[in-house]
Structure 1
Amino acid sequence: MFKNFEEWVLQVPLSIRSDSLWEFVTYRYALFLSDLAWFDAEKIIKDSRGRGIAWQLVDSAGSIAANIEEGYGRGFGKDYSRFLRISLGSARETKGWYYRSRHVLEEQVVHHRMALIDEIIASLVIVAKQQRDK
């Protein structure tokens, strides 16, 4: 596993880093969060009460980047804005799943993930509005 965002970036394949979508910092954060959720789910799933949360967490975190990718692939404007809003919903859902996992994950991990999600949400709100207004 990686220790931080910078270390994580180094292991992302060049085919992803060389895509123009990589320039959208929020997309990078969404991919990073998806990987973090994957590893966090390993801890959560060990507690039988957390199994459902682990699956939901991985799905919702992965959906953030996936919707950014799909929307970006369709072009800019209102259609892209729609996908960014779907991504925003997934980010809010992911934040909720991290809150629910607080009984298993360390407090600092939950706070880190929620702060990262807050950055993603703030950016998605702005960019979705910009795209909608185009």
Structure 2
Amino acid sequence: MFKGPEELRIVQLADTLADKIWDEVIKWDYFAKNTLGMQIVDSADSIGANIVESLGRFHIREQIRFLHISRGSLWETKRWLNRALRRKLLATKKFKELMGIVENLAPQLNAFITKKHKDGV
């Protein structure tokens, strides 16, 4: 029986990504935290938040809209991860770990969006 959105694998994966990013950003110096750090934490947190918000929406169109926002946040997070690597804020090993989560989450989120589209037909 479904008890809540936190049981969904994509929400758990989004939360894992956001938590791992937080764990890295919290170690950065003040300037890095206040620039790139705030952006990447916000975008990573937004992935799961928008998935959960979509589940609270009544109309399928609204649900899909919030899932699209979540997907946009996922791509934004990917962009910030690349910037963090280029600016030497992330070690290559940590970057690959985080990008692995992004690459795992992206098709799952797309499949969830596709399912919602089919549910609305």
TM-score range, shorter chain: 0.7 to 0.9
Please, which of 32, 36, 39 is the counterpart of residue 56 of structure 1? 39
The code of the aligned residue for 1:125 comes to N
Please, which of 102, 116, 120 is the counterpart of residue 105 of structure 2? 120
After TM superposition, list the pairs within 5 Å mapping 1:1-134 onto structure 2: 19-43=3-27, 45-46=28-29, 48-49=31-32, 51-75=34-58, 77-102=60-85, 103-134=88-119
Pairwise CA distance, 1:76: 6.5
In structure 2, do the counterparts of structure 1 residues 49 and 35 end up closer, same or farther at CA, with 3 Å as the change threshold?
A: closer
Q: Distance in 1 between matches of 2:17 and 2:7?
A: 17
In structure 2, do the counterparts of structure 1 residues 114 and 76 end up closer, same or farther at CA, with 3 Å as the change threshold?
A: farther
Name stretches of at least 5 consecutive residues in structure 2 with no aligned partner.
Answer: none
Q: Is the 8 A contact 2:81 2:95 kept in 1?
A: yes
Pairwise CA distance, 1:23: 2.9
TM-score normalised by the chain length of structure 1: 0.78
Number of aligned pairs? 116
RMSD of equivalent CA atoms? 1.8
Name stretches of at least 5 consecutive residues in structure 1 with no aligned partner.
Answer: 1-17
